């Protein structure tokens, strides 16, 4: 039967870019003889207006029962005054938790046609194609105990960075699978020179790598301290293929890596769970309320998220290749949404298009 894709357009430019992604997927699926069914559900501010909650029970249940989830973006001025637990953004955190999405995949891939959008020198970033695999539900953001306390008459705030072996093993295995679908060069990033939690991380990754026979599968594993990695991302980013790291290091490094590519509107991401369970595929950017409803948004981050869903979620790599090639091809022909007009090599002949035209 058809595989079910739960679509969550959300707020702001969300519905505009979701329309484009669904059209692209329908077109490519038809050409490839793949059967997909799309079912739309409410999330974020849109869901607050309809049901009072940013993640209605109906939406969560539908996502759990689906094959994969495509999410556009949530949030907007209208809901900015709500308390933090009632805000649209809470819907996204609840959805990730509800689907047990413990792995965040953030690619930083430079489209050669957009070389001048990057703050780094073209010769440094040419060919950059990095996938960061970040642990998403553990580490210092969730560790207990946490809080405030009085410390000898002084005030202190504290958090706990903790990882269990089982948590490291499951994220490491996601990274091994990703590396197998790429160049096979894996770098695990930690701070093992200072932190016990990082020493456990490093040893656990090495043991799992060995136990799974990854070397025989053509993978290589090396380790890097997080401070060195931050530096190397600026000075020599093209050395990286897959970076595996914990929650807080991954948060920082993935934002850093994303600016290498220069264009927020182009970046996809995924939050995935164990094999066979649905993952969430979404662009990195937000709901861009400043340009919502004007058919101006760049839909390519959303479209490339759909391609990631094909590759890593649906196991349809041909569909992913077709979509990614189509993105390269429209850029090579000079078509740009407004946000990309400054990002091309000098002298390139550009045509500015709307969101829906880019989709066509
Ligand atoms: P944003 O990513 O929505 O916008 C930042 C700037 O980039 C804006 O000038 C916007 O017009 C532009 N931009 C973003 N995506 C674009 C696209 N596809 N095409 C063209 N231009 C684009 O971040 P901001 O302004 O900080 O947040 C706006 C709202 O989005 C807030 O309510 C925020 O909480 C929410 N948000 C939601 C996220 C999500 O759904 N995962 C992630 C980040 C923010
Ligand atoms: Mg971040």
CATH number of the domain that residue 337 is part of: 3.40.718.10
Condensed to tens digits (0 to 9), the pLDDT of residues 48-75 reads: 999 999 999 999 999 999 999 999 999 9
User: Positive or negative CA dihedral for 7, 42, 255, 139?
Assistant: negative
pLDDT value at position 70?
A: 98
Among 92, 42, 101, residue whose Cα is nearest residue 68? 101
Read off the tokens for 323: 């979509």
141 flagged as catalytic:
yes
Read off the tokens for 313: 């979620």
pLDDT value at position 348?
A: 79
Cα–ligand 1 centroid distance for 136 (angstroms)? 21
Question: Is 243 in the same domain as 270?
Answer: no
pLDDT value at position 197?
A: 98
pLDDT value at position 260?
A: 84
Question: Is 225 in the same domain as 129?
Answer: yes
Pick from 13-22, 175-184, 187-196, 241-250: least confident: 175-184
Examine the pLDDT at 359 and tell me if it is beyond 90.
Answer: yes
pLDDT value at position 82?
A: 85
Give me the mean pLDDT over the 237-260 stretch: 94
- Any residues with CB less than 8 A from the CB of 196 and at least 6 apart, and which? none
Q: Ligand 1: which residue has its CA nearest to atom 11? A: 288
Say which residue the tokens 């569909």 belong to: 319
The residue segments making up the domain with residue 331 are: 1-107+264-360
Dist. CA 87–CA 109, nearest whole Å: 31
- Please identify, among 260, 292, 324, the residue that sits at the C-terminal boundary of a domain: 260
Residue 140 lies in a domain: yes
Condensed to tens digits (0 to 9), the pLDDT of residues 279-290 reads: 999 999 999 999
Residues with beta carbon < 5 A to ion ligand 2? Answer: 251, 255
Among candidate residues 49, 80, 217, 255, the one labeled active-site is 255
Question: Is 254 in the same domain as 159?
Answer: yes
Pick from 100-114, 212-226, 284-298: least confident: 100-114
Residue 119 burial class via C-beta count within 10 angstroms: exposed 0-12, middle 13-18, buried 19 and up:
exposed
Dist. CA 262–CA 91, nearest whole Å: 28
Examine the pLDDT at 93 and tell me if it is beyond 90.
Answer: no
Question: Is 251 in the same domain as 268?
Answer: no
Dist. CA 150–CA 3, nearest whole Å: 55
pLDDT, the chain, mean? 94
Residue 174 burial class via C-beta count within 10 angstroms: exposed 0-12, middle 13-18, buried 19 and up:
buried
Residue 114 lies in a domain: no
Examine the pLDDT at 338 and tell me if it is beyond 90.
Answer: yes
Among candidate residues 191, 241, 312, 339, the one labeled active-site is 191
- Please identify, among 200, 234, 260, the residue that sits at the C-terminal boundary of a domain: 260
Condensed to tens digits (0 to 9), the pLDDT of residues 100-120 reads: 999 999 999 988 888 877 888
The CA angle 206-308-263, to the nearest 5 degrees, is: 100
Question: Is 336 in the same domain as 351?
Answer: yes
Question: Is 26 in the same domain as 146?
Answer: no
- Confidence class for position 346, pLDDT limits 50, 70, 90: confident
Give me the mean pLDDT over the 32-50 stretch: 97
Dist. CA 12–CA 297, nearest whole Å: 10
Examine the pLDDT at 296 and tell me if it is beyond 90.
Answer: yes
190 flagged as catalytic:
no
Examine the pLDDT at 357 and tell me if it is beyond 80.
Answer: yes
Q: Give the global pTM.
A: 0.90
User: Residue 187 in 3-state DSSP?
Assistant: strand
Examine the pLDDT at 33 and tell me if it is beyond 80.
Answer: yes
Residue 66 lies in a domain: yes
Examine the pLDDT at 215 and tell me if it is beyond 80.
Answer: yes
The total of structural domains in the chain comes to: 2
User: By percentage, how much of the chain surpasses pLDDT 70?
Assistant: 100
Condensed to tens digits (0 to 9), the pLDDT of residues 128-158 reads: 999 999 999 999 998 999 999 999 999 999 9
Give me the mean pLDDT over the 189-213 stretch: 98
Among candidate residues 49, 80, 217, 227, the one labeled active-site is 227
Question: Is 128 in the same domain as 244?
Answer: yes
Question: Is 221 in the same domain as 283?
Answer: no
pLDDT value at position 1?
A: 86
Pick from 16-25, 37-46, 249-258: least confident: 249-258
Question: Is 10 in the same domain as 85?
Answer: yes
Pocket residues: Cβ below 6 A from ligand 1: 13, 73-76, 89, 92, 264-265, 282, 285-291, 297-298, 301, 339
Examine the pLDDT at 81 and tell me if it is beyond 90.
Answer: no
Dist. CA 5–CA 23, nearest whole Å: 13
Rg (CA), the chain: 21
- Any residues with CB less than 8 A from the CB of 239 and at least 6 apart, and which? 232
- Confidence class for position 126, pLDDT limits 50, 70, 90: confident
- Please identify, among 235, 260, 285, the residue that sits at the C-terminal boundary of a domain: 260
Dist. CA 147–CA 156, nearest whole Å: 8
Question: Is 247 in the same domain as 329?
Answer: no
- How far is residue 334 from each of residues 18, 93, 209, 348, measured CA to CA in Å? 23, 37, 44, 7
Q: Ligand 1: which residue has its CA nearest to atom 40? A: 73
Among 352, 146, 173, 356, residue whose Cα is nearest residue 275? 173
Residue 113 lies in a domain: no
């Amino acid at each position: 039967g058809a595989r079910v894709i739960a679509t969550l357009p959300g707020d702001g430019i969300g519905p505009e870019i979701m329309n484009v992604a669904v059209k692209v997927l329908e077109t490519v699926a038809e050409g490839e003889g793949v059967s997909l069914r799309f079912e739309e559900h409410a999330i974020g501010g849109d869901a607050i207006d309809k049901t009072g909650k940013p993640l209605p029970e109906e939406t969560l249940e539908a996502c759990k029962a689906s094959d994969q989830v495509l999410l556009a973006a949530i949030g907007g001025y209208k809901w900015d005054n709500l308390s933090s637990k009632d805000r649209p953004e809470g819907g996204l955190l609840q959805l990730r938790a509800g689907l047990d999405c413990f792995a965040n995949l953030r690619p930083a891939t430079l489209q050669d046609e957009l070389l001048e959008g990057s703050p780094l020198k073209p010769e440094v970033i040419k060919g950059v194609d990095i996938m960061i695999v970040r642990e998403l539900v553990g580490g210092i953001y969730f560790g207990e105990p946490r809080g405030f306390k009085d410390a000898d008459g002084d005030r202190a705030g504290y958090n706990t960075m903790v990882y269990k072996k089982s948590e490291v093993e499951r994220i490491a295995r996601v990274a091994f699978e990703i590396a197998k679908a790429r160049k096979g060069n894996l770098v695990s990033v930690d701070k093992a020179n200072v932190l016990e939690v990082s020493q456990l991380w490093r040893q656990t990754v090495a043991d799992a790598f060995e136990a799974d026979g990854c070397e025989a599968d053509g993978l290589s594993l090396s380790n890097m301290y997080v401070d060195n990695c931050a530096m190397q991302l600026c000075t020599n980013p093209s050395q990286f293929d897959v970076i595996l790291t914990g929650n807080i290091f991954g948060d920082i490094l993935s934002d850093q890596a994303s600016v290498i590519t220069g264009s927020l509107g182009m970046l996809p991401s995924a939050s995935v769970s164990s094999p066979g369970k649905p993952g969430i595929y979404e662009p990195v950017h937000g709901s861009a309320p400043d340009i919502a409803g004007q058919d101006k948004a760049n839909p390519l981050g959303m479209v490339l998220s759909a391609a990631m869903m094909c590759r890593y979620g649906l196991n349809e790599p041909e569909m992913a290749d077709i979509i990614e090639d189509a993105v390269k091809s429209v850029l090579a022909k000079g078509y740009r949404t407004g946000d990309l007009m400054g990002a091309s090599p000098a002298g390139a002949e550009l045509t500015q298009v709307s969101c829906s035209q880019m989709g066509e």
